Structure 1
Amino acid sequence: MIQSVVVLLWLVVCAVQDTRQRLLANRLTLGVAALGGVYLCWTGGTWLGASVGQGLWAFVLALLLTLPGYALGRLGAGDVKLLAALALVSDAEYLLGAFIGAALTSVLWLLLAPKLWPLMGQRLTDCLGHLAPEPSKKLPFAPFLLVGFTLVWFWIH
């Protein structure tokens, strides 16, 4: 349980940074990916308890899910590294659930944000600046991945 909370807190930090700055620091993504890889090799399992095979399959799956989006300009390099790091510390179930949850919540946000944004206070809209509902803008991915991971976490536990 504590491992899931640590992953959740890491995703919160990533989501805050992505929302405020529209970038994910390599220390957050590559650092966790490196720690996850070392932990995987050292203990024979991921941080959340999956086997080496499950962790590596999740990593391959993360690349298969994100590299096409990166090639098409829909995802940034930080998003690819974020999902790869999440894969190395979890498993395919968490990864797919978080990815699907992120996709669904981003669609929901795109539908609701134009109606909700004018009702929000300026302090809140300043904090959520890069989530503003502008049609040509690429949204930050980490906040939606956080929501997706949280939903999967509650579903599994």
Structure 2
Amino acid sequence: MPFLNAGVVFEISLGVWALAVASSDWRQRRIPNALLAPAAALALLVLLIQGASPLGASGMAVAKGAGLALLLTLPGYLFRALGAGDVKLLFVIALLGGVWITFGSFAIGALLTAAGGLLDLKVRSLLGLDPKQGRHLPFGSALAVGLLIMMFAGDAPPGWR
């Protein structure tokens, strides 16, 4: 009996990828296409071969997730609140996991970003610093953490598969 099966290896690899995305966005405030394109290509290849996403979502759930990803991020991009990397990352998350993981990753990412922003404002206030001088928090990093949490959150409810 092998120590690691293919599913565990994939989940570890996906976790490492998500951490690389989060680290890149945190340090450089950008998510390179070199990190996003291979994950998107792999997700599409798995979807075509298996008829399900790498994280087990149906083709319809992936399509709904992709639409939801664009619906949630394009307005933010158009109003310059989000970067193109954030839009592409949530789209790749949709390809990997479908609508449930997309929704959860976005919700967790939004909560983490809001909490981090409030904490930053409080710390700046306590230190007597101008709150407008702070840097924006990297949403892609929060999305990647949201993906990691959603990977282990359990199965999607029946209407979201």
Return the TM-score normalized by structure 2.
Answer: 0.78
Match of 2:127 in 1: none
Match of 1:35 in 2: 42
Match of 1:138 in 2: 136
Q: Post-superposition shift, 1:112?
A: 1.4
CA RMSD of aligned residues (A): 2.4
Tell me which amino acid in the other structure corresponds to 2:44: G
Q: Deviations over 1:109-134 (max 9, x none)?
A: 011134558xxxxxxxxxxxxxxx75
For 1:6 and 1:116, the matched residues in 2 are separated by 36
Bigger Cα Rg: 2
Residues 1:50 and 2:93 aligned together: no
Q: Deviations over 1:31-50 (max 9, x none)?
A: 21122112211221100011
Structure 2, unmatched stretches of 5+, are: 1-6, 125-130, 156-161
Q: Post-superposition shift, 1:52?
A: 1.1
Query: Is the 8 Å Cα contact of residues 18 and 148 (structure 2) preserved in structure 1?
Result: no
Match of 1:152 among 146, 150, 153: 150
Match of 1:11 in 2: 18
Deviates further, 140-149 or 84-93: 140-149
Tell me which amino acid in the other structure corresponds to 2:21: C
For 1:135 and 1:148, the matched residues in 2 are separated by 27
Q: Deviations over 1:6-38 (max 9, x none)?
A: 322211100101111111110111221122112
